[in-house]
């Protein structure tokens, strides 16, 4: 759909004004029911030229858009209008992409079900009583529910692109850490955050990636190359590793079955299956959360009612004022993570938690490096279950919520690229296959993801 | 004996800030050299300045410190209204350099001050306290022009015993930093945190002392305050204090019991650093000449004595360079040095100005011309001394100035003789005294002639003429 | 043992008594999950602060365009005479 739309736009066969009028009508209407967007620009900056000429693009709210409110899903940034575009937004606009809105998310990325969004919870379009996943829930709902050609720019720290993509039955690519510039991304955890793309098929994601990826002088950790990802290589003679730790009893049977079916399909296309082990997988969850919370607790310190965002009348000493604003502006999960993150880097605890987790990360990376010596990609389930109902989520303790990330945290911790491919359903709800590859090997993943049109 | 340690923060002489491309330049208008990064806007990222790293390493070189080839940056978290991010990007575990020393001369004796570390960090915003001082203000106004300016922090061991030692150290350190061009006294600022303790009491820290005079006064006051408390059996609290230059006293800011836990983490938005041997060799080669080398050269190559060489090297950051530039084309080096030291600096001292603050550093040709006017006899030495102040203050070339002031040497010999004849006739007593053997009597007449000619004649010539006239 | 009240103070968060109690319990649970790492021997393992070791990325010391004063102050109502207004520092 996207490919044809771009071709038509390029040839002048689509009237942009008429098209975008319809776009606006649809997003306003669907937003009422599904809570996709936090902000919709008053006017679309319609272009028709470029690799994304005339393509509607939605952007997760933690990615800064100049002149358009960017809240990262939090009340403490209500009204924050950045005076600059994130690099990815700049690149999209340069190639003719049209920003149609900022999608809803868990506050600062803190969550697996987008239930921590201060501006309303996005709902799974297949079954609105269920979660759309998180933290990039709004982006996944946009891709899954909007009828016009469109891609969404999302972000992942521990699985925030893969999880909602899995729950909503769409494709979502999380690139290698450092491939895509983080300049303009409102930080969750700086050594873990990656900006990626969600779309209805692998080609759409690849196109988006080709536009946003590559070195950026504004982000000193961005070292990747810009290249064209839309040509997919064949999977014949490639090796698919299947890590045994990802098929434990924690993963539901229906999920395992659907994922195995997909893996067997690769085999029928000429790939070889290899059983591998990633023995430090169980350590990834605590290590991930320790690093994510310690880094994010420093990132959130700047939010104190000075210069931008939520503020109160200036009264009292700075300690009193800062505390009042932060108490009012942060949601419960944010407060919980700030407390833990602050504690785990304090004197006496820093070695036990923060430094230890950084060393565990090395072990997790080494596991993957070893597997990729003999495998081209790894295949596993993305999430241990289908999208849960909101009524079920309400009963979960924080620890149980964190545990839902068990399959996505390890690749995210290692910063390797990964992609969710919708490979089946159970009770009508989508199941996701997770493809992973070594650093900067996105093409290998896309080759497998693009081997057929998976989505029903 | 008191124990004093310093943490000196010096603003580095770069064009841009430490983590962004905003100008590193003071501006009376607030918040004009600002961007998303130094304002701490969500989504912004730091980008480290290569020049700041280079200047930091230069400081490490001249302080004989052990250079870290590998280093990285850390986040130091604490809340304060002048912080753009409520964490400061600094160096904690691995600074630029450690364990150096800096030798100073105090009352003729050499003293070695040991250094703990040298590291880079960013400056916070500038606060204006409205409706009172730091402790009594109603609210603050913040100017982020200063936010993100690169600082080099130099931390000493508590090796100082007196305020004199600290003053000597600071004067020499700042002069060195100017010489190696890491600090520009015209636009950069420095400040120090001073730690003071006396035997029997705890250590207190005087924060943000911004001038050498204030350092001297605050140390003296603090030693006195602490000694007094100990003498009367009272406790000297471990605390952070502030110095008020108006009252000359230090006051409590906060107690050290409320010591902040900075929760350091590695700064993930910057890469690690591992500098090559090649990098350090290039740095060493490009290091500007150290003051000691300059002083030696002035004695050896220009025949100056120890005092002259020392003053020209240390009295002002622009003086040594200026002397040398002039010395290339003006060969009477002793005269050059003398005029600079005695007359130029003498005048500037009397009007409380520094040499570098005037336009003098750019007026080598004119200054040489000034000296040449005296050498050729077109201007007398005495007039030179009279006019030097005006010469410095104006932008005029010396010939124009001489004419303007009407001090051109009277070339017309006949005119001078006429005045001499006239004057001699006015002093009959002096003439008769001279005739009766009092040679010195002629000076009265010479003086009168000089007065009439407004010094535009050479005294020796006048004396000769007067004697001739009388005889 | 984590003193939630103390940490909240450090992090500038005001918690009610009920919140302190609730967070204390939850945080204790979560830390128990994290203590899984205590059993692991990491001697000789280097920390990975970054997933891919990158070195020496620097920026040239060249002036770039700044925001205007108006742009800088646009996101707040707390401003006065071109300055940002803030709470007192003591």
Give the total number of structural domains in chain C: 1
Q: Inter-chain contact A345–B270, Cβ cutoff 8 Å?
A: no
Q: Find the CB nearest B29 among C56, C69, C89.
A: C69
Examine residue B284 and state whether it is found in any structural domain, yes or no. Answer: no
Give counts: helices (H), strands (E), chain C.
3, 2
Residue pair B95/B59 in contact (Cβ under 8 Å)? The answer is no
User: Last residue of a domain, which of B278, B303, B326?
Assistant: B278
Q: Inter-chain contact A218–B40, Cβ cutoff 8 Å?
A: no
Quote the CA–CA distance of C74 and C77 in Å, as a whole number: 8
Quote the CA–CA distance of A449 and A206 in Å, as a whole number: 10
Q: What is the pLDDT of residue A386?
A: 98
Neighbouring CB atoms inside 10 A of B195's CB total: 19
How many angstroms away from the CA of B51 is the closest CA of chain A? Answer: 16
Determine the Cα angle at B113 with ends B112 and B116, to 5°: 140
Q: What is the pLDDT of residue A227?
A: 94
Say whether residue C18 is in contact with chain A using an 8 A CB cutoff: no
Looking at the structure, do residues B331 and B444 belong to the same domain, yes or no? no
Query: Between B237 and B255, whose confidence is greater?
Result: B237
Mean pLDDT confidence for B275-284:
93
Quote the CA–CA distance of A103 and B309 in Å, as a whole number: 71
Using DSSP, state whether B333 is helix, strand or coil. helix
Range of the domain at C21: 1-39
Q: What is the pLDDT of residue B429?
A: 85
Say whether residue C5 is in contact with chain A using an 8 A CB cutoff: no
Looking at the structure, do residues B325 and B220 belong to the same domain, yes or no? no
Examine residue B139 and state whether it is found in any structural domain, yes or no. Answer: yes
ipTM value for the complex: 0.97
Say whether residue A305 is in contact with chain B using an 8 A CB cutoff: no
Looking at the structure, do residues B259 and B303 belong to the same domain, yes or no? no
Instruction: List CB contacts (< 8 A) between B140 and chain C.
Output: 85-89
Instruction: List CB contacts (< 8 A) between C78 and chain A.
Output: 305-306, 311, 314
Strands B204-209 and B239-244: parallel
The structure tokens 């009610």 sit at: C16
Q: Inter-chain contact C49–B33, Cβ cutoff 8 Å?
A: no
Is residue A152 annotated as a catalytic residue, yes or no?
Answer: no
Determine the Cα angle at A366 with ends A435 and B265, to 5°: 100
Looking at the structure, do residues B18 and B60 belong to the same domain, yes or no? yes
Is residue A60 annotated as a catalytic residue, yes or no?
Answer: yes
Give the total number of structural domains in chain B: 3
User: Last residue of a domain, which of B278, B308, B337?
Assistant: B278
Q: Inter-chain contact A302–B264, Cβ cutoff 8 Å?
A: no
Examine residue B157 and state whether it is found in any structural domain, yes or no. Answer: yes
Quote the CA–CA distance of A161 and A133 in Å, as a whole number: 9
Quote the CA–CA distance of B289 and B293 in Å, as a whole number: 7
How many angstroms away from the CA of B208 is the closest CA of chain A? Answer: 20
Range of the domain at A401: 1-456
CATH number for A126: 3.90.1300.10
Backbone angles phi, psi at A106, to 5 degrees: -60, 140
Give the total number of structural domains in chain A: 1
Q: What rounded mean pLDDT belongs to chain B?
A: 91
List the single range of A316-330, B229-243, C62-76 with lowest mean pLDDT. Answer: B229-243
Quote the CA–CA distance of B11 and B121 in Å, as a whole number: 10
Task: Give the chain A residue nearest C90 (alpha carbons).
Answer: A317
CATH number for C19: 1.10.20
Q: pLDDT tier at B432 (50, 70, 90 boundaries)? A: confident
Task: Give the chain B residue nearest A223 (alpha carbons).
Answer: B271
| Residues with pLDDT less than 70, chain A | 455-456
Q: Active site residue: A39, A160, A162, A297, which one?
A: A160
Examine residue C16 and state whether it is found in any structural domain, yes or no. Answer: yes
- Is 70 exceeded by the pLDDT of residue B258? no
Distance of CA A382 to the CA centre of its chain: 13
- Cβ neighbors of B203 (< 8 A, separation 6 or more) are B3, B195, B196, B197, B238
Q: What is the pLDDT of residue B448?
A: 85
Task: Give the chain C residue nearest A368 (alpha carbons).
Answer: C51
Render pLDDT for C24-39 as a digit per residue (tens, 0 to 9).
999 999 999 999 999 9
Range of the domain at B388: 289-404
Element at A100 (helix H, strand E): strand A98-103
Residue pair A333/A340 in contact (Cβ under 8 Å)? The answer is no
Render pLDDT for B105-140 as a digit per residue (tens, 0 to 9).
888 899 999 999 999 999 999 999 999 888 789 999
Q: What is the pLDDT of residue B185?
A: 77
- Cβ neighbors of B240 (< 8 A, separation 6 or more) are B204, B205, B207, B252, B253, B254, B255, B256
Mean pLDDT confidence for B438-447:
83
Q: Inter-chain contact B85–A314, Cβ cutoff 8 Å?
A: no
Is residue A369 annotated as a catalytic residue, yes or no?
Answer: no
Examine residue B237 and state whether it is found in any structural domain, yes or no. Answer: yes
Render pLDDT for B65-94 as a digit per residue (tens, 0 to 9).
999 889 999 999 999 999 999 999 999 999
Examine residue C56 and state whether it is found in any structural domain, yes or no. Answer: no
Examine residue C25 and state whether it is found in any structural domain, yes or no. Answer: yes
Looking at the structure, do residues B319 and B266 belong to the same domain, yes or no? no
Strands A429-436 and A418-426: antiparallel
Q: Active site residue: A58, A131, A135, A210, which one?
A: A135
Q: Measuring CA to CA, which residue among A61, A62, A52, A66 is closest to residue A94?
A: A52
Q: What is the pLDDT of residue B417?
A: 85
Say whether residue C82 is in contact with chain A using an 8 A CB cutoff: no
Q: What is the pLDDT of residue A430?
A: 98
Q: Inter-chain contact C11–A283, Cβ cutoff 8 Å?
A: no
Backbone angles phi, psi at B265, to 5 degrees: -130, 160
Query: Between B287 and A24, whose confidence is greater?
Result: A24
Q: pLDDT tier at B443 (50, 70, 90 boundaries)? A: confident
Task: Give the chain A residue nearest C2 (alpha carbons).
Answer: A343
Examine residue C80 and state whether it is found in any structural domain, yes or no. Answer: no
Q: What is the pLDDT of residue A254?
A: 97
Examine residue C47 and state whether it is found in any structural domain, yes or no. Answer: no
């Amino acid at each position: 759909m996207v490919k044809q739309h771009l071709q038509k736009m390029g040839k002048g066969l689509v009237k942009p004004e008429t098209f975008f009028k319809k776009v606006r009508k649809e997003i306003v209407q669907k937003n009422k029911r599904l809570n996709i967007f936090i902000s919709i620009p008053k006017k679309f900056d319609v272009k028709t030229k470029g690799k994304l000429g005339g393509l509607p693009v939605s952007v997760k709210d933690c990615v800064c858009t100049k002149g358009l409110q960017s809240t990262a899903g939090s009340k403490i940034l209500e009204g924050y209008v950045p005076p600059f575009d994130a690099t990815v937004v700049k690149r999209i606009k340069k190639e003719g992409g049209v920003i149609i809105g900022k999608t809803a998310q868990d506050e600062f990325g803190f969550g697996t079900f987008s239930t921590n969004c201060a501006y309303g919870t996005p709902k799974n379009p297949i079954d609105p009583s269920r979660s759309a996943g998180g933290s990039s829930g709004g982006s996944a709902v946009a891709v899954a529910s909007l009828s016009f050609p469109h891609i969404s720019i999302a972000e992942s720290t521990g699985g925030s692109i893969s999880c909602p993509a899995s729950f909503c039955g769409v494709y979502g690519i999380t690139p290698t850490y450092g491939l895509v510039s983080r300049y303009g991304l409102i930080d969750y955890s700086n050594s873990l955050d990656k900006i990626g793309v969600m779309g209805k098929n692998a080609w759409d994601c690849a196109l988006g990636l080709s536009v946003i990826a590559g070195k950026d002088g504004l982000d000193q950790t961005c070292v990747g190359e810009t290249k064209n990802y839309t040509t997919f290589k064949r999977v014949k003679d490639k090796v698919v590793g299947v890590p045994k730790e990802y098929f434990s009893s924690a993963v539901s049977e229906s999920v395992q079955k659907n994922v195995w079916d997909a893996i067997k399909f690769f085999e029928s296309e000429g790939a070889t299956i290899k059983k591998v082990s990633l023995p430090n997988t169980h350590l990834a969850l605590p290590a991930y959360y320790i690093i994510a919370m310690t880094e994010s607790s420093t990132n959130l310190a700047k939010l104190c009612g000075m210069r931008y965002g939520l503020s109160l009348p200036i009264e009292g000493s700075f300690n009193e004022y800062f505390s009042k604003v932060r108490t009012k502006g942060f949601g419960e999960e944010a407060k919980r993570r700030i407390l833990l993150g602050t504690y785990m880097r304090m004197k006496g605890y820093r070695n036990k938690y923060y430094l230890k987790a950084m060393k565990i990360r090395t072990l997790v990376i080494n596991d993957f490096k070893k597997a990729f010596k003999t495998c081209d990609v790894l295949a596993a389930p993305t999430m241990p279950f289908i999208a849960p109902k909101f009524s079920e989520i309400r009963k979960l303790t924080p620890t149980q919520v964190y545990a839902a990330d068990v399959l996505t945290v390890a690749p995210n911790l290692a910063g390797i690229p990964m992609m969710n491919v919708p490979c089946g359903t159970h009770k009508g709800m989508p199941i996701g296959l997770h493809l992973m590859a070594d650093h900067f090997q996105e093409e290998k993943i896309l080759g497998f993801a693009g081997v057929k049109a998976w989505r029903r | 004996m008191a124990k004093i340690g310093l943490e000196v923060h010096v603003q580095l002489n770069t064009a841009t800030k430490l983590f962004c491309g905003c100008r590193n330049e003071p501006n009376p208008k607030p918040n004009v050299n600002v961007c998303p990064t130094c304002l701490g806007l969500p989504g912004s990222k730091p980008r480290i300045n290569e020049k700041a790293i280079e200047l930091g390493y230069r400081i490490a070189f001249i302080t004989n410190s052990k250079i870290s080839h590998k280093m990285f940056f850390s986040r130091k978290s604490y809340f304060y209204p002048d912080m753009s991010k409520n964490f400061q990007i600094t160096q904690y575990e691995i600074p630029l350099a450690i364990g150096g020393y800096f030798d100073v001369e105090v009352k003729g004796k050499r003293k070695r001050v040991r250094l703990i570390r040298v590291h880079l960090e960013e400056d916070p915003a500038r606060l204006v306290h409205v409706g009172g001082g730091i402790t009594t203000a109603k609210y603050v106004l913040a100017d982020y022009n200063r936010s993100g300016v690169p600082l080099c922090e130099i931390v000493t061991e508590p090796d100082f015993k007196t305020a004199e030692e600290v003053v000597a150290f600071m004067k020499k350190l700042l002069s060195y930093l100017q010489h190696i061009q890491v600090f520009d006294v015209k636009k950069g600022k420095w400040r120090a945190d001073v730690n003071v303790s006396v035997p029997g009491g705890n250590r207190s820290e005087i924060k943000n002392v911004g001038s050498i005079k204030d350092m001297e006064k605050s140390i003296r006051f603090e030693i006195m305050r602490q000694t007094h408390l100990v003498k009367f059996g009272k406790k000297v609290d471990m605390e952070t204090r502030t110095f008020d230059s108006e009252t000359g006293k230090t006051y409590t800011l906060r107690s050290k019991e409320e010591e902040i836990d900075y929760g350091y983490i590695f700064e993930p938005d910057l890469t690690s650093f591992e500098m090559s041997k090649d990098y350090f060799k290039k740095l060493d080669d490009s290091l500007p000449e150290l003051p000691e080398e300059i002083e030696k050269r002035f004695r050896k190559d220009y025949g100056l004595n120890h005092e002259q060489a020392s003053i020209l090297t240390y009295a002002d950051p622009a003086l040594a360079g200026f002397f040398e530039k002039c010395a290339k084309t003006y060969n009477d080096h002793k005269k050059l040095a003398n005029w600079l030291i005695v007359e130029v600096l003498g005048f500037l001292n009397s009007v409380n100005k520094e040499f570098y603050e005037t336009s003098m550093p750019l007026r080598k040709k004119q200054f040489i011309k000034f000296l040449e006017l005296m050498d050729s006899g077109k201007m007398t030495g005495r007039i030179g001394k009279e006019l030097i102040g005006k010469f410095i203050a104006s932008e005029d070339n010396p010939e124009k100035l001489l004419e303007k002031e009407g001090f051109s040497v009277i070339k017309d010999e006949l005119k001078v003789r006429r005045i001499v004849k006239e004057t001699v006739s006015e002093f009959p007593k002096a003439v008769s005294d001279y005739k009766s053997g009092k040679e010195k009597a002629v000076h009265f007449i010479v003086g009168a002639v000089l007065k009439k000619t407004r010094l535009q004649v050479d005294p020796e010539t006048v004396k000769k003429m007067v004697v001739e006239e009388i005889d | 043992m984590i003193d939630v009240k103390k940490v909240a103070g450090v992090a500038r968060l005001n918690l009610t008594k009920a919140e302190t109690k609730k967070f204390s319990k939850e945080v204790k649970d979560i830390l128990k999950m994290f203590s899984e790492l205590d059993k692991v021997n990491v001697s000789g393992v280097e920390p990975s602060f970054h997933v891919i070791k990158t070195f020496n990325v620097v920026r040239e010391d060249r002036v770039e365009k700044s925001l205007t004063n108006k742009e800088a102050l646009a996101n707040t109502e707390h401003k006065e005479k071109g300055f940002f207004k803030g709470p007192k520092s003591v």
